[in-house]
Amino acid sequence: MKTIVLISSTGGHRSQVIELKKELIDIEKIKLFEITEKNNSSKDDDTYYLKQQDRKSIYIMPILAYNIIKSLYLFLKLKPDLVISTGAGVVIPFLVYSKIFRKKVWFIESFSKVKTPTMTGKIVYKFADRFFVQWETLLSFYPKAEYKGKIY
Protein backbone atom coordinates (compact mmCIF):
# COMPACT_ATOMS: atom_id res chain seq x y z
CA MET A 1 0.00 0.00 0.00
CA LYS A 2 1.36 3.41 -0.99
CA THR A 3 1.16 6.40 1.33
CA ILE A 4 0.47 9.84 -0.13
CA VAL A 5 0.75 13.04 1.89
CA LEU A 6 -0.95 16.20 0.67
CA ILE A 7 0.63 19.26 2.29
CA SER A 8 -0.16 22.96 2.02
CA SER A 9 -0.60 26.17 3.90
CA THR A 10 -4.13 27.44 4.58
CA GLY A 11 -6.42 29.44 2.30
CA GLY A 12 -6.31 28.93 -1.44
CA HIS A 13 -3.40 26.49 -1.21
CA ARG A 14 -5.48 24.23 1.02
CA SER A 15 -8.57 24.65 -1.19
CA GLN A 16 -6.58 23.10 -4.00
CA VAL A 17 -5.41 20.24 -1.76
CA ILE A 18 -9.04 19.57 -0.85
CA GLU A 19 -9.88 19.32 -4.57
CA LEU A 20 -7.02 16.84 -5.06
CA LYS A 21 -8.12 14.89 -1.99
CA LYS A 22 -11.60 14.42 -3.49
CA GLU A 23 -9.99 12.76 -6.52
CA LEU A 24 -7.65 10.53 -4.51
CA ILE A 25 -9.78 9.55 -1.52
CA ASP A 26 -11.45 6.53 -3.11
CA ILE A 27 -8.42 5.03 -4.82
CA GLU A 28 -7.70 1.60 -3.41
CA LYS A 29 -4.25 0.64 -2.21
CA ILE A 30 -3.27 4.11 -1.02
CA LYS A 31 -3.25 5.69 2.41
CA LEU A 32 -3.92 9.40 2.21
CA PHE A 33 -2.93 12.01 4.80
CA GLU A 34 -3.17 15.79 4.86
CA ILE A 35 -0.91 18.31 6.59
CA THR A 36 -1.70 22.02 6.76
CA GLU A 37 -1.35 25.02 9.05
CA LYS A 38 -3.41 25.28 12.21
CA ASN A 39 -5.51 28.44 12.40
CA ASN A 40 -8.73 29.58 14.04
CA SER A 41 -10.90 27.83 11.44
CA SER A 42 -9.09 24.46 11.59
CA LYS A 43 -11.53 21.71 12.54
CA ASP A 44 -10.60 18.49 10.73
CA ASP A 45 -9.77 15.65 13.09
CA ASP A 46 -8.11 13.60 10.33
CA THR A 47 -5.60 16.29 9.40
CA TYR A 48 -2.14 16.91 10.86
CA TYR A 49 -1.17 20.48 11.63
CA LEU A 50 1.88 22.72 11.62
CA LYS A 51 1.91 26.18 13.19
CA GLN A 52 0.77 28.96 10.88
CA GLN A 53 3.75 30.84 9.46
CA ASP A 54 3.72 34.52 8.62
CA ARG A 55 7.03 35.84 7.30
CA LYS A 56 6.26 39.26 8.77
CA SER A 57 5.56 38.00 12.30
CA ILE A 58 8.07 38.75 15.04
CA TYR A 59 7.66 35.09 16.06
CA ILE A 60 8.68 33.67 12.68
CA MET A 61 11.97 32.16 13.88
CA PRO A 62 10.56 30.10 16.79
CA ILE A 63 7.56 29.07 14.66
CA LEU A 64 9.87 28.06 11.83
CA ALA A 65 12.04 26.03 14.23
CA TYR A 66 8.94 24.32 15.63
CA ASN A 67 7.68 23.51 12.11
CA ILE A 68 11.04 22.10 11.04
CA ILE A 69 11.05 19.71 14.00
CA LYS A 70 7.36 18.83 13.67
CA SER A 71 7.80 18.23 9.92
CA LEU A 72 10.49 15.66 10.63
CA TYR A 73 8.29 14.02 13.27
CA LEU A 74 5.34 13.85 10.85
CA PHE A 75 7.54 12.58 8.02
CA LEU A 76 8.85 9.74 10.19
CA LYS A 77 5.36 8.96 11.49
CA LEU A 78 3.54 8.95 8.15
CA LYS A 79 6.35 7.46 6.00
CA PRO A 80 5.09 8.81 2.68
CA ASP A 81 5.95 7.32 -0.68
CA LEU A 82 4.74 10.43 -2.48
CA VAL A 83 4.25 14.00 -1.25
CA ILE A 84 2.08 16.39 -3.23
CA SER A 85 2.11 20.08 -2.34
CA THR A 86 0.43 23.25 -3.51
CA GLY A 87 2.66 25.47 -1.31
CA ALA A 88 3.36 27.80 0.46
CA GLY A 89 6.41 28.31 2.70
CA VAL A 90 5.36 26.09 5.60
CA VAL A 91 5.69 23.03 3.32
CA ILE A 92 9.39 23.43 2.52
CA PRO A 93 10.87 21.50 5.50
CA PHE A 94 8.58 18.51 4.87
CA LEU A 95 9.45 18.51 1.16
CA VAL A 96 13.18 18.71 1.94
CA TYR A 97 12.90 15.73 4.30
CA SER A 98 11.06 13.86 1.56
CA LYS A 99 13.95 14.38 -0.84
CA ILE A 100 16.60 13.57 1.79
CA PHE A 101 14.83 10.24 2.37
CA ARG A 102 14.46 9.68 -1.39
CA LYS A 103 10.68 9.97 -1.61
CA LYS A 104 8.83 11.44 -4.57
CA VAL A 105 7.89 15.13 -4.43
CA TRP A 106 5.28 16.65 -6.71
CA PHE A 107 4.66 20.38 -6.53
CA ILE A 108 1.76 22.31 -8.03
CA GLU A 109 2.44 26.02 -8.47
CA SER A 110 -0.26 28.30 -7.09
CA PHE A 111 -3.38 28.89 -9.16
CA SER A 112 -3.26 32.57 -8.24
CA LYS A 113 0.15 33.08 -9.83
CA VAL A 114 -0.51 33.69 -13.51
CA LYS A 115 2.51 35.72 -14.62
CA THR A 116 5.18 35.34 -11.93
CA PRO A 117 6.44 32.40 -9.85
CA THR A 118 6.04 32.03 -6.10
CA MET A 119 9.01 32.06 -3.75
CA THR A 120 8.16 28.50 -2.67
CA GLY A 121 7.88 27.39 -6.29
CA LYS A 122 11.32 28.79 -7.12
CA ILE A 123 12.84 26.80 -4.24
CA VAL A 124 10.99 23.52 -4.78
CA TYR A 125 11.46 23.56 -8.58
CA LYS A 126 15.14 22.77 -7.99
CA PHE A 127 14.41 19.37 -6.45
CA ALA A 128 10.82 18.32 -7.21
CA ASP A 129 10.40 15.08 -9.13
CA ARG A 130 7.43 16.55 -10.95
CA PHE A 131 6.49 20.21 -11.09
CA PHE A 132 3.15 21.40 -12.40
CA VAL A 133 1.95 24.84 -13.41
CA GLN A 134 -1.69 25.81 -13.78
CA TRP A 135 -1.04 28.56 -16.29
CA GLU A 136 0.97 28.08 -19.49
CA THR A 137 2.55 31.53 -19.00
CA LEU A 138 4.62 30.11 -16.12
CA LEU A 139 6.40 27.63 -18.39
CA SER A 140 8.82 30.44 -19.26
CA PHE A 141 9.98 30.44 -15.61
CA TYR A 142 9.82 26.68 -15.20
CA PRO A 143 10.90 25.10 -18.51
CA LYS A 144 10.77 21.52 -17.16
CA ALA A 145 7.33 22.00 -15.60
CA GLU A 146 4.20 20.24 -16.83
CA TYR A 147 1.04 22.09 -17.75
CA LYS A 148 -2.00 19.87 -17.17
CA GLY A 149 -4.63 22.57 -16.74
CA LYS A 150 -6.15 23.96 -13.59
CA ILE A 151 -7.25 22.14 -10.44
CA TYR A 152 -10.44 24.22 -10.15
- Would you say residue 67 has pLDDT above 80? yes
pTM for the complete prediction? 0.93
Full set of structural domains in the chain with CATH: 2-147 (3.40.50.2000)
**Nearest-angstrom CA–CA distance, 140 and 142:** 6
**Nearest-angstrom CA–CA distance, 50 and 73:** 11
What secondary structure, in 3-state letters, does the chain show? CEEEEEEECCCHHHHHHHHHHHHHCCCCCEEEEEEEEECCCCCCCCEEEEECCCCCCCCHHHHHHHHHHHHHHHHHHHCCCEEEEEECHHHHHHHHHHHHCCCEEEEECCCCCCCCCCHHHHHHCCCCCEEEECCHHHHHCCCCCEECCCCC
Q: What is the pLDDT of residues 102-145, one digit of tens each?
A: 999 999 999 998 999 999 999 999 999 999 999 999 999 999 99
Answer yes or no: are the C-beta atoms of 37 and 47 closer than 8 Å. no
CA distances from 102 to 95, 96, 105 (A): 10, 10, 9
Mean confidence (pLDDT) of the chain: 93
Q: What is the pLDDT of residues 39-56, one digit of tens each?
A: 766 666 679 999 998 888
Answer yes or no: are the C-beta atoms of 49 and 37 closer than 8 Å. yes
**Nearest-angstrom CA–CA distance, 38 and 49:** 5
Amino acid letter for position 119: M
